[in-house]
Structure 1
Amino acid sequence: MANDPDDTREHGIEFGALTGDLEEESYPLSHETLLSRYGDRELGLIGEQVTLREVLSSEHEREYEDAESVRQAVFNMVGDGAIGREDYSDRGGSAPDEGDSNETESF
């Protein structure tokens, strides 16, 4: 199945129309310019909306080389808001719980 071109959610973050705008932007782009153009754009996290400015508020004097570098900065700074259920994976199998041991119990 092909990726849905209207799907703008990556790693639990809904970028919305910002995805296309970042792809069409001219780079390199300073942090100040990025926020002046797109800082009020909202990103959708699990159960809340935050602005790009809120997410990247602690980034300073950075230059973005392309749209991917902006997305990576968001992924690094967004925190637990985009995770959803902690310790959940949709990749199949199960992760061992803390306290599980590899020893086999004998009866």
Structure 2
Amino acid sequence: MVPSEKPETETREQGVEFGELEAKLRSHEYPTTQKELLQEYGDYELELSDGSKTLQEILEGGENTNDDVGDKQYDSLEEVHQSVLNMVGDEAVGRRNYSDRGGSLEGQGIDREKGDETL
């Protein structure tokens, strides 16, 4: 298995639960266009930390304002995953400013832009 590949049973990636869509995307023939993906799978819902959105809502950014949106080509499953992850952004993140290493970054004197302590 290539290190970047997920096991076939794992459908969550960086806060996005692909669910049954994962198997569909794995078996889809690539290259493909965004238009083809949305025609076949646009109604499939992906779970995010704050709810769910359809593949169409995610890939079109919530609105279909660009007529050539369907012309985008995906050469692999990984490209589809990356596009989804890029489009959901902060929506896939759990609690903001939270660290599982003992609390949040709030009030700890850390300049987030520099990554330096400002004490």
TM > 0.5: yes
The reply on whether 1:36 has 2:53 as its aligned counterpart is no
- TM-score normalised by length of structure 1: 0.78
After the TM superposition, which residues 19-30 of structure 1 pair with which residues of structure 2 at under 5 Å, given as runs? 19-30=22-33
Task: Show the counterpart of 2:3.
Answer: none
Q: What letter is aligned with 1:30?
A: T
Give 1 or 2: higher strand fraction. Answer: 2
- Cα distance in 1 for residues equivalent to 2:42 and 2:11: 18
Q: What letter is aligned with 1:80?
A: D
Task: Show the counterpart of 1:13.
Answer: 16
- Cα distance in 1 for residues equivalent to 2:36 and 2:8: 27
After the TM superposition, which residues 18-97 of structure 1 pair with which residues of structure 2 at under 5 Å, given as runs? 18-58=21-61, 60=69, 61-90=71-100, 92=101, 97=109
For residues 58-85 of structure 1, the C-alpha deviation after alignment (integer angstroms, 9 at most, x for no partner) is 4822100011100000000013211011
The size of the alignment, in residue pairs, is: 99
User: Once the 2 structures are TM-superposed, how far is the Cα of residue 5 of structure 1 from its aligned partner?
Assistant: 4.9
Q: Which sections of structure 2, spanning at least 5 residues, go unmatched?
A: 1-5, 112-116
User: Once the 2 structures are TM-superposed, how far is the Cα of residue 4 of structure 1 from its aligned partner?
Assistant: 7.0
Percent of residue pairs bearing the same amino acid type:
40
User: Once the 2 structures are TM-superposed, how far is the Cα of residue 88 of structure 1 from its aligned partner?
Assistant: 2.7
Q: Which sections of structure 1, spanning at least 5 residues, go unmatched?
A: 103-107
